[in-house]
Chain A
């Protein structure tokens, strides 16, 4: 461990404590407690780090984007203590687009001190959950009248054509989820993220005419220059070489219907959001 700043004395005590406790350079001691907790000045420095390293996915102000969760929400899906947030930033989240610190195209990677600055910043922008709806009624709608469950799963129950929405309320902002319902084609949901690939696959709609003339419609699960993997509207998987198809067209018109005010009044929308939020609570870690 090496502190490069001139004002090294500020961290001197921590260095001494760590040096006594830790010899294997894993720095676990420093990862348990935020040395800057509640320090508004440090939060400001953390904002600058956040903009450079995190905002690409999590948005300006940490309010989330199409790629990363809204970090102003609490509790955090992958652990809500300062130490857990430090761990999430430093180690990434396996199975998601969240990379370990420094392993991304964005940003240069942060020192331990800088990660704590970011944790301090995130704490400074958190706000209480604004979910006001009735989760029980939301569940009824989800699997009933609104028919969300035809294409979406929550905790293992529902359809497969759209993204699994278990935990979606933690991973995306309320604004994003609302937009997904009211205007689903504006930003397509993201699907598979391959290691080393910059961009995740999106839920694009595919219209295909197979060699025998049969027509299919579905979502693109993945694609490269020569092949495409599609789940059709009957939930049948097709693994095609593009050259074998009569036609293959993609559109960014989502297969999901538009849920406008008429189809889904504001109150029902709030109930659905409450149901999604309830699907996170306690089961997110």
Chain B
């Protein structure tokens, strides 16, 4: 649906003193109908990361310029996708920062930084991917495994609850997902031999309402897919924000690798629900169905990619470009597989089961001296958000062509210490690794076009009704591409690799596109 910018602008004005309007659960349900705002991590409950804004379009994108920049002055990966609510932008930064900015000027209104214990155990940097909002509260998961609520106007802590003991290797890096009055979070820590879970907290009080363990306990169905006691330290984190289907009252979450990631010895079995898609009742946390992408994973093929809800005619689907190199389409009512086809080079699986699901090849198992397998350890894609553009009906995903040599060796479990079962190495391929933005046809899963990156990128993708897909690269460029052809329309050199997924909003009738790179959040607009 296209909404002319003038109308959107008028709506924004009509909201009058809109900066004080409350974000209700109702507004979250209709997030895509107020494209001047960006109300949740992936823009809407479907996980499309698509905006109906079209002021910035194919014909004028070359006129984009930076309008403001906000610097956290922090090192490390800046992974946030900010929210924008009625002219105010809320983001998170490295080292557990959060901030509110005037979305028009980039000027900070408040800033928060959490004092973290010295011995936190984040696997992959002191990162955070963003906030969720409801009412006058913002919600954040922290690296010391707390969930906190901040006041939208001041950044003051309204409540702060401990989810779990961080010294055992647990942390939060994802942007929470608010459904009704609950704040949902999934835990990180697949590198430490945790037992993963997804939690729901009362947005008003912080009281935990339910916990779904992503590894079934003794006596529960699925526990038999773990050898001996391995389920207790089997990983299966859930570190990417889920999606939500209000029609069936189902929330979809994905899980990461079984631990230790590069060693299957000692955890014989499929290892449920690692590397899976979970359909949960958001009110109770009860499992409706699951689909496991990679059984008995030995290559760190986390399934923590956004499970995108797509309606194709009367078919209600989930599409996911998985880290293991396959593009999956799944019936979202039943969890039955519709399509699985590779969108990048794959060697870990050579055949499919009776339902069409790719199954691991025995010869792909890591060995002591190493075994070359594709995709490599970083995957054919990773956590960076894809986008689905309902205009082109294309699914745009950041892909990586890289194979690695996977090695394994025994590693004793020691709570809070790394638990991988060894490592992986770059292989000696003559060709360098590269990345690409691939536009996949939903019907076939095959690329219609690709934009080749000089080297693999960790940037996600945004699509807009203006006919543009925005993405970033490892060389520091933020790029606007024609959504139909993949041709570059515009680019800006941000000066550092992009490790975030872009978003867009409108304030005072002007569209902005925002991306984080280096220690800077950039706001771009038309000249």
Contacts and interface: CB of A to CB of B under 8 A. Distances in A.
Bin chain B's interface residue count.
35 or more
Interface residues of A, number: 42
A194 B496 CA distance: 8
Contact of B493 (A1, A110, A224): A224
Contacts of A109: 122
Interface stretch (B149-157, B268-276, B450-458): B450-458
B415 A4 contact: yes
Given A4-B416, A25-B118, A226-B491, A198 B474 contact: yes
Interface stretch (B194-202, B241-249, B420-428): B420-428
Contact of A225 (B119, B420, B479): B479
Main secondary structure of the interface of B (DSSP, over half): loop
B418 A52 contact: yes
Interface string B69-80: 000000111000
A4 B474 CA distance: 36
Contacts of B430: 186, 252
Interface in B419-443: 420, 422-426, 428, 430-433
B96 interface: no
Interface string B385-417: 000000000000000000000010111001111
B412 to A, nearest CB: 8
A4 B119 contact: yes
A224 B474 CA distance: 9
Given A60-B425, A198-B455, A107 B418 contact: yes
Interface in B31-68: none
Contact of B409 (A48, A110, A186, A197): A48
B119 to A, nearest CB: 5
Contacts, number: 119
Contact of B496 (A111, A195, A198): A195
B124 interface: yes
Most A CB contacts (10 A, CB to CB) among B75, B415, B422, B454 go to: B454
Contact of A199 (B118, B474, B476, B518): B474
Nearest to B414: A5
A132 interface: no
Interface in A100-156: 102-103, 105-111, 114
Given A196-B518, A199-B432, A56 B424 contact: yes
Task: Output the residue of A106, A108, A187 with the most chain B CB within 10 A.
Answer: A108
A255 to B, nearest CB: 17
B499 interface: yes
Contacts of B416: 4
Contacts of B499: 196
Consensus secondary structure, chain A interface: loop
A225 B477 contact: yes
Contacts of A199: 432-433, 455-456, 474
Contacts of A5: 414, 417
A59 interface: yes
B314 interface: no
B167 interface: yes
Nearest to A27: B118
Interface in B472-494: 473-477, 479, 488, 491, 493
Nearest to A51: B423
Given A103-B75, A224-B454, A252-B430, 4 more contacts: A51-B423, A60-B407, A110-B418, A225-B453
29 contacts: A1-B119, A2-B167, A4-B119, A25-B118, A51-B422, A52-B411, A52-B420, A52-B423, A55-B407, A55-B425, A65-B426, A67-B426, A103-B75, A103-B76, A105-B378, A108-B124, A111-B119, A186-B430, A194-B475, A196-B518, A197-B455, A199-B433, A199-B455, A199-B456, A199-B474, A202-B432, A225-B475, A226-B477, A252-B432
